[in-house]
Amino acid sequence: MMSCLPESKIAEPQLTLTDQERGEALVAECMLCHSNKEAQRGPILHGMETWYLIDQLEKFRSGVRGNLASNRSEYLMGIGAKKIQSDYELVYGANWFSEQDPLPSIRTIKGDIEDGQSGYVQRCASCHGENGEGNRQLVAPSLQRLEGWYFLEQMRKFRSGQRGYHIKDIGGQSMAAASNEISDRTLRNVVAYCIDAFGPEEEISERDRLVPRGSRRPF
């Protein structure tokens, strides 16, 4: 016997997330890369300044950063940031990371501390402060939360033009100009000094425990 019941015209309910829920989902997604787990390649964001995190997220979302495929990590970040649907979601994520206690660094940079201090005083302290505390008015973030490996990597990218290339990235362009003629040795020494003088707490990684003493490390 055939059914005479009419087809249902009731649409399936569309589940929507609140701004709060989207913000929490954003944090969870960010933590896949921005933690101190051994496999992660993004910088640790815990304890960084809210204003700087908001500024950088907005640059990724708007395309001021993350447009160069040759800079793979930034390119992937740009793709992810464009999924952020609202300013509330963006600010929620920045505030969450800013309010967390700093996590220990798991990768270190070695260098000539004395030479690095000289280089820092000459080239960096006027904007980033004597103790790396930063200066918002100069769009200069604090350096006290940066891991050594990430710090050095970004300085190299500023120098090579992979970061600070966009006309609207004022802080980035300043850094690109400042690092243009600095040797890799000097960069490494400056980073080593910053980490030693006011950088984050360090924790020996499992990788470093397994690498024999004297073996070559990637950084």
Read off the pLDDT of residues 115-146 as tens digits, 9 standing for 90 and up. Answer: 999 999 999 999 999 999 999 999 899 999 99
Instruction: Name the pLDDT band for 216 (thresholds 50, 70, 90).
Output: very low
**Which among 168, 133, 149, 158 is positioned nearest to 55, based on CA atoms?**
168
List, in sequence order, every residue forming a beta bridge with 202; answer none if it has no partner. Answer: 105
- pLDDT for position 175: 96
- pLDDT for position 194: 96
In 68-94, which positions are buried (b, 16+ CB within 10 angstroms) versus exposed (e)? Answer: beebebbeebbebbeebeeeebbbbbb
Q: Is the pLDDT of residue 44 over 50?
A: yes
> What is the C-alpha to C-alpha distance for residues 119 and 182, in angstroms, rounded to an integer?
10
- pLDDT for position 94: 96
- pLDDT for position 159: 96
Instruction: Name the pLDDT band for 18 (thresholds 50, 70, 90).
Output: confident
**Which among 143, 145, 127 is positioned nearest to 135, based on CA atoms?**
127
Domain ranges across the chain: 18-103, 104-208
- pLDDT for position 5: 45
Q: Is the pLDDT of residue 7 over 70?
A: no
Report percent pLDDT > 90 for the chain.
70
Crossing angle of the two packed helices 148-160 and 184-198, in degrees rounded to 10: 150
CATH architecture for segment(s) 104-208? Orthogonal Bundle (1.10)
From residue 28, give the alpha-carbon distance in Å to each of 71, 95, 202: 24, 14, 24
pTM for this prediction = 0.83
Q: What share of the chain is helix, strand, coil (3-state, %, to 5)?
A: 50, 0, 50
**How many residues are listed for the chain in this entry?**
219
Domain 18-103 CATH superfamily: Cytochrome c-like domain (1.10.760.10)
Confirm whether 18-103 and 104-208 share one CATH topology. Answer: yes
Those residues with Cβ within 8 angstroms of residue 88's Cβ, 6 or more apart along the chain or in another chain: 19, 22, 23
- pLDDT for position 156: 96
Average pLDDT over residues 209-218: 48
